[in-house]
Amino acid sequence: MMLITRKELRAWRTGPKIYRWFLRNFPEGGRYADVHHALIRHGYVDWATSLVEYGYSLWLEKENFALQETDSTDLLADVLSHRLMTVALSPSLSLLSGQSSVLNESGKSAVNQYAGRQASGADYFSVMNTDNGSQISNSGDEARIGSTGSSVRIASSGVNSQIGSCGEYGWISSSGYSTQVASCGYGARVGCVGHDVRVGSSGDRARIAAAGNSAKISSSGRGVKIGSAGMRARIGSVGDASKVASAGDLSHISSFGAEARVVSAGNDARIVAMGADSLIACAGSVDYVVLGKGGCASIPYFDGKRIRFAVAYEGEGNIKAGVKYCLNHQHQFVEWNNEIR
């Protein structure tokens, strides 16, 4: 279990304020997801963001972290999708025709004469949508958008937005920096092009794409497809039959589901595919790879004349499951250490 205790806080050199807050709320320690949720609930967003950074840097190669990370994003989706929020009408907020889906704090329609399509350019835009088939767009910063309906289309271009969807077949797109997207619906489509985005999905057959640097993506659903084009991506997947593709350098990918397919085109990648019968295919260099039972990996190298592939099969040639391997100067798989890069 990913348990955070005062020992971790001392090692992270946290300030006295957060240290005292943690001891008051979690005297015996707390799960990553529970601590993250408590920080959000108490309004300590910056601390929660720092916790996410620590979590991905320390625990991405542990299966339980991916589960706890999607737990925390599920909580975010639930908060955004079930807390009734108010939208104040102003010249910067225009509502297009259709059925109303903006609710006030009493749960009643705030604008009965309008439809479930909202378009806003205001900062701090907040809306909770319950209509099926509604469409929501916002170009302001610090937006908070939640949805429980099916077939929803949500678009946001501002920075520091939070988007949560608990309905099936949701379509979510974001082009702002530091966006957080949480989805627990089946078959969700999520696209992000800003840097430092965080995406969590617990539904099966989700489709997630990120184009910015330093994306953090976690998934616990089955049959999920994840694509990342930015540098320093951090991707964790637990569900079976997942497909992960990364084109950026310095990516760190961990997959624990069976029959996963991980493809990397960037350089200096770290790839863990611990699920049974998983496959790793690389077009760029790797720092190391880790295989599960029945897994295999291919890594390219230049022999002085042309590009060739070195192939590792778990159970053959002394390749063992759960062990980090890299290529040495003779293009052979050897156990990784910090001196072999």
The CA-atom distances, in angstroms, between 148 and each of 131, 184, 190 are: 8, 10, 15
Structure token pair of residue 183:
């989805």
Structure token pair of residue 64:
């339980």
Report yes or no: 66 and 256 within 8 Å, Cβ to Cβ: yes
pLDDT given for residue 40 in this prediction: 82
Structure token pair of residue 328:
């040495």
- Compute φ and ψ for 138, nearest 5 degrees: -150, 140
Angle (nearest 5°) at CA 234 between 159 and 223: 100
Q: What is the dihedral of CA 96, 99, 104, 108, to 10 degrees?
A: 160
Structure token pair of residue 259:
């029959």
Q: Which helix (H) or strand (E) holds 237?
A: strand 234-237
**Alpha carbons 154 and 243: distance in angstroms, whole number:** 24
Report yes or no: 278 and 262 within 8 Å, Cβ to Cβ: yes
Per-residue pLDDT of the chain (341 residues; tens, 9 = 90+): 578 999 988 888 888 999 999 999 999 999 998 999 899 888 888 888 889 999 999 899 998 898 899 988 888 888 777 654 444 333 333 333 333 334 333 333 333 333 456 777 888 888 777 666 678 888 989 888 888 877 788 899 999 898 988 877 778 999 999 999 999 888 889 999 999 999 999 999 999 999 999 999 999 999 999 999 999 999 999 999 999 999 999 999 999 999 999 999 999 999 999 999 999 999 999 999 999 999 999 999 999 999 999 999 999 999 999 999 999 999 999 999 865 44
**Alpha carbons 263 and 242: distance in angstroms, whole number:** 11
Report yes or no: 158 and 139 within 8 Å, Cβ to Cβ: yes
**Alpha carbons 107 and 121: distance in angstroms, whole number:** 24
pLDDT given for residue 108 in this prediction: 36
Report yes or no: 105 and 82 within 8 Å, Cβ to Cβ: no
pLDDT given for residue 82 in this prediction: 66
Report yes or no: 315 and 297 within 8 Å, Cβ to Cβ: no
pLDDT given for residue 136 in this prediction: 85
Neighbours of 33 (CB within 10 A): 20
pLDDT given for residue 117 in this prediction: 66
Structure token pair of residue 304:
């002085």
pLDDT given for residue 83 in this prediction: 56
pTM above 0.75, yes or no: yes
Q: Which helix (H) or strand (E) holds 313?
A: strand 307-313
Q: Which helix (H) or strand (E) holds 335?
A: strand 333-335
DSSP state of 83: S
Residues paired with 11 in a beta bridge: none
